[in-house]
Amino acid sequence: MDLKELYKEIILDHGKNPRNKTKSINFNRDAKGHNPLCGDKVHVYLNLDDSMKIIDISFEGEGCAISMASASIMTEITKGKDLNLIKNIISEFLKMIKEGSNLRINSLSEDQNTTLMSLSGVKQYPMRVKCATMAWHTVLSALESKEKIKTN
């Protein structure tokens, strides 16, 4: 299987079977994101410990396969990570999506890097970039204790 097929398979799997897609009962931070261009919506729930490490993360939402797959991937990648690492991951992810740069985050496993890279092809479809980045902006908003965010 070539990389394009692997990436397609990862996105389809996360889109059809999103991980952590549930309203968390036990959360101390949350944020809502909305893409008014296509109607995608996401509500992210975080449970942080005193050191700002994500103990638990989940989301509710509706939208296209790209936005739901990206939200699912985001929950798997950020769970168990601390604030500084999450900010680094988000920064590198957004750079990859917007600029098409290669992604290799040393603190992530090879599988996690491959999973993140599965969304790299979105750059070729500018209208889909916001679909892929909305959940990531929303989790950053929750970490920074901001209210609802919009991707304009």
| Upper half-sphere CA count for residue 110 (Cβ side, 13 Å) | 0
pLDDT digits (tens, 9 = 90+) for 6-45: 788 999 999 999 999 999 889 999 999 999 988 999 999 9
- Strands 54-62, 40-48: pairing is antiparallel
Structural domains in the chain, sorted by start: 3-150 (3.90.1010.10)
Residue with tokens 């309203």: 23
Structure tokens at 128: 């889909």
pLDDT digits (tens, 9 = 90+) for 34-83: 999 889 999 999 999 999 999 999 999 999 999 999 999 999 999 999 99
What dihedral angle (degrees, nearest 10) is formed by the CA atoms of 94, 147, 128, 24?
90
According to DSSP, the β-strands at 29-35 and 149-150 are parallel
In this predicted structure, the answer to whether residue 105 has a pLDDT above a threshold of 90 is no
